[in-house]
Amino acid sequence: MSLSEDLKRLNDQQSAIIKKFGKSSLIIAGPGTGKTRTISVLIGDLLHKNVRLKEILALTFSDKAALELRSRVLEYYPHSFDQCWISTFHSFCARILREQYHLVQIKPDFKLLTGFKEALLMNGICRRQQPEAFAEFGKVLHRRGFQQEVLTFISLLKSNLVSPDEFAKVLESCVELTPRARARMRELLALFRLYENERDNTGYLDFRDLISLSIRVLQNQQTAELYRKKFRVILVDEFQDTDPAQFLLLSLLKGDDDSVKTAVIGDPRQSIYRFRGADPGMMTPKGPFKQKYQAKVFPLALNYRSAKSIVTAAAKLHWREKSDTDSLLEARSEEPGFVKVYKVRDELEEARLIARKIASLLIYGENRLYKPSDLAILVRNNYQIDLIAECLQALHIPFAIAGDMKFFRSEEVIALASLLKVASTSGSKQCEALQRAFASPVFGIKPLWVQAVFALLTPAFTIKTFFERLTGNQLEELPETDPETMVKAASFAETVQILENCGEEPLTVVFARLLLVVSSLLKDPSSESARNVLHFRGMISDYCELFQAQHARLPKVCDLMPEFDEWLTYYASTLEQNSETRSEGVKIMTVHQSKGLEFPVVFICGLCEGQFPVNLRENLLTSTSSLEAMRQAFNREGRAVNFFNPYPIS
């Protein structure tokens, strides 16, 4: 659709933003109010008014949102050869640092720590420490849950631009801390220093470093002026999810020059990253953006997505965050819609109820109005997914779990993982892994023949004995089958021979052999099977890269296998929002994954007090009062940003 057509389709509230766009604008965009289209048209209108594409900086919080916005804008001007600065905050900062690396003494080819690599890094640090040296945390030092809490705590500090040295200084000056709280903080400080030293020595930056180093770049007046002249317009989407460091970055980009037009867009009620240190108060009438820049407020309050009954029900909820569009959101959809609330005893009864209701909508619904892909189920955690999936399966309802968070349960990954265990174990464990791999449909061996083989197994005639006879062409006592199946089984047996006793070999070499075994699965890279294998390869690659950086050698298979299942599950959890499910079944997804999507019917489970919406629990590493005392001590120092503590005060 052309820009002129889209301009005509805007409502009065959306048109006002385009016509009155000036020095600073605060756009409070309620759900379903056409926010993305309005931003796209605003950029298109600016281009029409001779602002160059390379003079517009548009920042958002996800690759998906950046791609959608970029695609819409380039539809208006497909032949533009200008640089495009529509990206995520972190991609923008990485771009700045690769241009201005010399100002902050880093290498231009720096490497980034993903969430998975951060976990590996912290695990390596904690494994090298003596528990006796940590009186408070020594007993849990090697536990993954504790290590993740430490990483979350470090992330909070770095999002507030706190360095280890500043943390140490404030810790000593904070007289309100109890002796035990001070001891805990000192141990956290020690782990913070170890993390920063290890990250620096291995040549990595984490995502918080991208922001803080970019701030240092822009604190150079000459460089800041360069970028202010470069960007005549700055737009920030999902502004409710910014943290103090990101707001400072925006302030340095804009400066005090009103010639840089700036608009921030979002809704305090749609903040989903408070647990990472995001401050939805940034968007409120008393928030820093409106106060600092005297921003003009534009509400978008006409909801085109939801039925009136749904908008009305949402308005009646008790919202923690206040919004300029309170009580203004108006439903414009003509769909009748419905809101139904069910009370159940527990999660199992809830899952069964959801499955039955979905079955009635699909089978008994009036004229079968819905197909499975019209329905979505929103969950908070993996436990809920497992129960719901089991109940849907029992009623033969097709479903798909959004993203790739369950890729580790796919048949391809289970088969490859079993073969890795064959390479690094012995005895009964090796036989178990062999049987699991041999039974996998990935290798195309007839399942009935496989079961016939398993029926022959005894303590004296193990699966290894079977493979030895197969490779030795001793087929007399083996179950009969067709030549094609026998060839596949013999090929599998040869693979096992190659993999046995490879525990001391480099992991990269052994995994390369495994990929050759399943190379047929990679013929169509867009297939789900290929995606599962490639994700597994990504995990192995990340593990090898980080291990080599920490230990100055390639990892062996035996280095990974003791914690293999745990790392595989954790890696899968980091992929939660990396891709969309392409399936015609009922969609099961987390609340975060559902942001920006639309479905005719949505089931929300786990609506229990304190769980949905979740109450941010107290920090597990230190008491609420200690963290609040530290926050006040930080803010007495006259810092560039006020320390924001997302945890509840009481």
pLDDT tens per residue across span 227-236: 999 999 999 9
Q: What is the pLDDT of residue 581?
A: 47
CA 26 to chain centroid, in Å, comes to 27
- Output the six-digit token pair for 158: 């770095």
In DSSP notation, 185-252 reads HHHHHHHHHHHHHHHHHTTEE-HHHHHHHHHHHHTSHHHHHHHHHH-SEEEESSGGG--HHHHHHHHH
In DSSP notation, 426-482 reads -HHHHHHHHHHHHT-GGG---HHHHHHHHHH--SSS-HHHHHHHHHTT--TTSPP--
Q: What is the pLDDT of residues 435-489, one digit of tens each?
A: 999 999 999 899 999 999 999 898 888 898 888 888 888 877 788 888 899 989 9
- Alpha carbon separation from 518 to 129, 491, 494, 515, 565 (Å, rounded): 40, 12, 14, 5, 20
Confidence of residue 577 (pLDDT cuts 50, 70, 90): very low
Omega before residue 268 within 30° of 0, cis: no
Q: What is the pLDDT of residue 404?
A: 57
Q: What is the pLDDT of residue 381?
A: 72
Q: What is the pLDDT of residue 120?
A: 96
Identify the DSSP state of 328: T
Confidence of residue 579 (pLDDT cuts 50, 70, 90): very low
Q: What is the pLDDT of residues 283-311, one digit of tens each?
A: 887 888 888 888 999 999 999 888 888 98
Give the angle subtended at the CA of 125 by the CAs of 122 and 130, to the nearest 5°: 130
Q: What is the pLDDT of residue 589?
A: 87
**Rounded to whole angstroms, how far apart are CA atoms 392 and 356?**
8
The lowest-confidence range among 58-72, 76-90, 291-305, 549-563 is 76-90
Q: What is the pLDDT of residue 329?
A: 84
From the list 12, 4, 66, 1, the residue with the least C-alpha distance to 39 is 66
Q: What is the pLDDT of residues 79-126, one digit of tens each?
A: 766 778 999 999 999 999 999 999 999 998 899 999 999 999 999 999
Q: How many percent of the chain have pLDDT more than 70?
A: 94
Q: Domain 3-99+211-302 adopts which CATH fold?
A: Rossmann fold (3.40.50)
More confident residue, 383 or 62: 62
Confidence of residue 649 (pLDDT cuts 50, 70, 90): low
The lowest-confidence range among 56-70, 131-145, 613-627 is 613-627
CB 584 within 8 A of CB 372: yes
Q: What is the pLDDT of residues 321-334, one digit of tens each?
A: 665 555 678 888 88
Confidence of residue 615 (pLDDT cuts 50, 70, 90): low
Burial class of residue 169 (count of CB atoms within 10 Å of its CB; 0-12, 13-18, 19+): middle
CB 647 within 8 A of CB 621: no
Phi then psi for residue 552, to 5 deg, are 60, 30
More confident residue, 243 or 382: 243
Q: What is the pLDDT of residue 321?
A: 61
| Mean pLDDT on 569-573 | 85
Q: What is the pLDDT of residue 367?
A: 60
Q: What is the pLDDT of residues 335-385, one digit of tens each?
A: 888 899 999 999 999 999 999 999 988 876 556 778 899 999 998 876 788
CB 464 within 8 A of CB 434: yes
**Does 641 score more than 90 pLDDT?**
no
3-99+211-302 matches 347-403+579-604 in fold: yes
Q: Does domain 347-403+579-604 have CATH number 1.10.340.30?
A: no
**Does 602 score more than 90 pLDDT?**
yes
Q: What is the pLDDT of residue 77?
A: 81
| Mean pLDDT on 517-535 | 88
**Does 613 score more than 70 pLDDT?**
no
| Mean pLDDT on 204-214 | 95
In DSSP notation, 245-288 reads HHHHHHHHHHTT-TTSEEEEEE-GGG---GGGT--GGGGSTTSH
**CATH code of domain 408-573:** 1.10.486
Residue 217 amino acid letter:
V
Rounded to two decimals, the pTM is 0.86
Residue ranges of the domains in the chain? 3-99+211-302, 111-202, 347-403+579-604, 408-573
pLDDT averaged over the chain?
Answer: 88
Q: What is the pLDDT of residue 63?
A: 83
